[in-house]
């Protein structure tokens, strides 16, 4: 568990790993099995993907797995069920997760390209696509011929995935969809004791901070902590909710009509910094935010010395329990070495979460991560690209996503009062098999691309995690970094230096330095590489559009 994330990473890869891990853990791992695959629902009809009596299409596939766990694809019941639903035969070569990228590059170099390739967009995909390794899908992906892909992947994201105006791969995110993952978290019990509602605007929040400081002098109204100098995000998102209310967010590039800039040099950023300076001067921000480490801030939280902060979605549940543990031990309800039972399915007792604190005229921005980090590409050597694309599209029907992600209804999951719940007690965690010795490859064959994410994921999680993630991913104020998927050599070479300059300047201003330092920072940002980055992004933007 982490209090926050130090930088905005390529979201797809990081999030997919985190969530696959969490769900696999809940399911006693993703490779286990039981049951007759014939019990799976009949293959749904969707798009250009009916079997029409055709022989199964053999798909050569390099599949990454955790080799530390037992697994035999020939005994994977859910693999067989997916094959039946899609009328395919997976010709699988297994490779360890840690070796997948290396193995794939060796295959690409030797021209032994799998039929369907899951590949990192940032480097490998772009290199091989321009060499002609993958099928041009530009004219093949559309609402008529691939309705399920069109539903899953917005046109704007397909545009981001293009190279020289052509589409060679379908964006893939994994997890419960791409999007924002932060919550503004407050001690709800403090709000209640002071007769306050959860703030919805920046003005309401300021009033709450002032009242907390007045009523509870030993409590820090707004906490923050330091990140590594020069990382993409400033102070680990500590003040994103304040910046957001001014319509800016540190580090993000912007684009309008093909012209680029960066929020770091936006005049509204100066206004946001002036506001933060005011909060700091009034003792509403932790005086130690610039040097405090994550674990130190957690200690203050658990001890009841912190009112509000920006929180990564998955942490609130555990933090609420830690606060309760501290309070219970302090009151004598729990012994020194005692632990509370699992609280994750209980409503929050101490914390309240919200999505935005709107500023003037309802303005707010929430910095969403890049919508995808990988794509699925079809090898130019596959025997029937159109049929394989139709199979990919069919894999994205709601029914087939339920099958490939969660397994077989009433065996691997069930519906309880309309909500989907996993069934996990039929899998032996040691052998990863069911009583018949079969593996159940839940998530192992979630191979079709999709940005909406695993169907009904929120329902599968405990109440607290469901609430926290739902608030985050449904944040209507999300924006993306306009430099996503664009090329700028100067950005690679100079961005850390520019971010270090930003971090130092912004910290000084918040702690009371003259606001003129912001104007000096803007001039340095432009002259020390920023203007060149903007120029390169504009050129890359035109090239991506095929202009």
Q: Give pLDDT tens digits for 168-200.
A: 999 987 666 678 899 999 999 999 999 999 999
**If you ran DSSP here, which 8-state letter would residue 192 be given?**
H
Indicate whether 91 pLDDT > 90.
Answer: yes
Reply yes or no on whether the pLDDT at 205 is more than 50: yes
Tell me the longest C-alpha to C-alpha distance in the chain. Answer: 75
User: Residue with structure tokens 């995909």?
Assistant: 125
Task: Determine the pLDDT at residue 231.
Answer: 52
Instruction: Give the whole-number percent of the chain exceeding pLDDT 70.
Output: 87
Sign of the alpha-carbon torsion through 116, 119, 122, 128: negative
**Predicted confidence (pLDDT) at residue 10 exceeds the cutoff of 50:** no
Provide the pLDDT for residue 52: 66
Residue linked to tokens 């933007």? 541
Q: How far apart (Å, rounded) are the C-alpha atoms in residues 183 and 304?
A: 19
Please state whether 214 falls in left (phi above 0), alpha (psi between -120 and 50) or beta: alpha
Question: Which residues share a beta bridge with 117?
Answer: 377
* Three-state secondary structure call for residue 394: helix
- The conformational region for residue 177 under phi > 0 = left, psi -120 to 50 = alpha, else beta, is left
User: For residue 170, which of 146, 192, 204 has the smallest C-alpha distance?
Assistant: 146
What pLDDT, on a 0 to 100 scale, did the predictor assign at position 7?
38
- The answer to whether the CB of 105 falls within 8 A of the CB of 124 is yes
pLDDT in tens, 295-326: 888 999 999 999 999 999 999 999 999 999 99
pLDDT bucket at 490, cuts 50 / 70 / 90: very high
Phi, psi dihedral angles at 170 (to 5 degrees): -105, 125
Contact 378, 51 (CB under 8 A): no
- Judging by beta carbons within 10 Å of its beta carbon (0-12, 13-18, 19+), is residue 223 exposed, middle or buried? buried
Q: Report the DSSP beta bridge partners of residue 76.
A: 439
Give the Cα separation of 494 and 513 in Å (integer). Answer: 25
Average pLDDT over residues 220-248: 79
The reported pLDDT for the residue numbered 15 is: 30
Range 141-151 average pLDDT? 95
pLDDT interval class at 82 (50, 70, 90): very high
What does residue 334 show for φ and ψ, rounded to 5 degrees? -120, 140
The whole-angstrom separation of Cα 537 and Cα 542 is 9
Cα dist. 409→81, 86, 299, 423 in Å?
12, 17, 43, 9
3-state SS of the chain: helix, strand, coil percent to 5? 40, 15, 45
Stretch 234-249: mean pLDDT: 85
Q: What is the rounded average pLDDT of the residues 236-246?
A: 89
Q: Which residue has the tokens 């005692």?
A: 338
Residue 449 has which token pair? 């691309």
pLDDT at 174 (0 to 100): 67
Q: Report yes or no: 108 and 133 within 8 Å, Cβ to Cβ.
A: yes
Confidence of residue 425 (pLDDT cuts 50, 70, 90): very high
CB count, 10 Å around CB of 274? 14
Q: Which residues contact 263 (CB under 8 A, 6 or more apart)?
A: 243, 248, 249, 250, 251, 252, 253, 254, 269
Residue 58: band (very low, low, confident or very high) from pLDDT cuts 50, 70, 90: very high
**What are the chain's domains?**
57-176+372-449 (3.40.190.10), 182-368+479-545 (3.40.190.10)
Buried b (16+ CB within 10 A) or exposed e, 226-256: bbeebbbbbbbbbbbbbbbbbbbbbbbbbbe
Place of tokens 């309880």: 416
Q: Report whether pLDDT(239) > 80.
A: yes
Quick check: 38 pLDDT over 90?
A: no
Q: Is the CB of residue 263 less than 8 Å from the CB of residue 250?
A: yes
Helix (H, G, I), strand (E, B) or coil at 137: coil
Check whether 226 has a pLDDT greater than 90. Answer: no
CB 3 within 8 A of CB 311: yes
What tens digit of pLDDT does each residue of 499-513 get?
989 989 999 999 999
Q: What's the rounded Cα separation, in Å, for the pair 440 and 427?
A: 8
Closest CA to 134 of 84, 168, 94, 98: 168
């Amino acid at each position: 568990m982490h209090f926050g994330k130090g930088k905005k990473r390529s979201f797809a890869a990081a999030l997919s790993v985190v969530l696959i891990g969490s769900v696999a853990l809940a399911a006693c791992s993703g490779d286990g099995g039981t049951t007759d695959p014939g019990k799976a629902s009949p293959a749904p009809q969707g798009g250009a993907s009916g079997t029409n009596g055709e022989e199964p299409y053999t798909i050569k596939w390099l599949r990454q797995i955790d080799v530390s766990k037992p697994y035999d694809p020939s005994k994977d019941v859910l693999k067989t069920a997916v094959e039946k639903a899609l009328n395919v035969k997976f010709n699988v070569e297994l490779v360890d997760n840690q070796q997948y990228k290396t193995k794939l590059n060796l295959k690409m170099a030797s021209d032994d390209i799998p039929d369907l390739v899951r590949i990192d967009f940032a480097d490998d995909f772009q290199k091989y696509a321009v060499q002609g390794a993958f099928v041009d899908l530009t004219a093949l992906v559309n609402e008529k011929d691939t309705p399920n892909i069109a539903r899953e992947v917005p046109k704007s994201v397909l545009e981001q995935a293009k190279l020289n105006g052509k589409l060679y791969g379908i964006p893939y995110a994994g997890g419960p969809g791409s999007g924002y993952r932060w919550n503004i978290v407050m001690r709800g019990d403090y709000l209640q004791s002071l007769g306050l509602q959860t703030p919805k605007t920046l003005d309401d929040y300021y009033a709450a901070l002032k009242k907390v400081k007045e009523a509870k002098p030993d409590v820090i109204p707004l906490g923050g902590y330091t990140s590594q100098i020069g990382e993409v995000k400033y102070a680990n998102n500590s003040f994103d909710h304040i910046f957001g209310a001014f319509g800016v967010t540190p580090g993000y590039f912007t684009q309008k009509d093909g012209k680029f800039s960066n929020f770091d040099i936006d005049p509204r950023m100066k206004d946001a910094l002036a506001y933060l300076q005011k909060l700091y001067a009034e003792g509403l921000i932790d005086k130690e935010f610039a040097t405090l480490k994550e674990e130190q801030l957690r200690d203050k939280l658990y001890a009841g010395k912190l009112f509000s902060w920006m929180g990564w979605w998955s942490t609130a549940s555990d933090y609420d329990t830690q606060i309760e543990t501290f309070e219970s031990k302090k009151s004598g309800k729990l012994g020194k070495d005692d632990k509370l039972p699992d609280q994750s399915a209980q409503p929050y007792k101490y914390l309240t979460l919200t999505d935005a604190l709107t500023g003037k005229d309802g303005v707010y921005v929430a910095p969403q991560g890049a919508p995808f980090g990988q794509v699925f590409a079809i090898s130019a050597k596959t025997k029937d690209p159109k049929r394989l694309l139709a199979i990919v599209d069919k894999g994205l029907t709601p029914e087939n996503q339920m099958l490939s992600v969660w397994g077989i209804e009433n065996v691997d999951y069930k519906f309880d009062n309309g909500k989907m719940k996993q069934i996990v007690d039929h899998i032996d965690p040691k052998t990863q098999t069911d009583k018949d010795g079969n593996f159940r490859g839940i998530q192992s064959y979630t191979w079709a691309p999709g940005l909406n994410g695993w169907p009904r994921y929120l329902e599968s999680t405990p109440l607290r995690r469901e609430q926290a993630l739902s608030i985050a991913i449904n944040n209507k104020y999300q924006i993306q970094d306009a430099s996503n998927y664009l090329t700028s050599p100067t950005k690679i070479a100079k961005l850390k230096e520019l971010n270090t300059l930003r971090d130092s300047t912004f910290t000084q201003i918040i702690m009371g330095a003259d606001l003129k330092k912001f104007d000096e920072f803007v001039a340095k940002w432009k002259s020390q590489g920023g203007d060149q980055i903007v120029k390169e992004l504009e050129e890359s933007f035109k090239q991506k559009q095929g202009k």
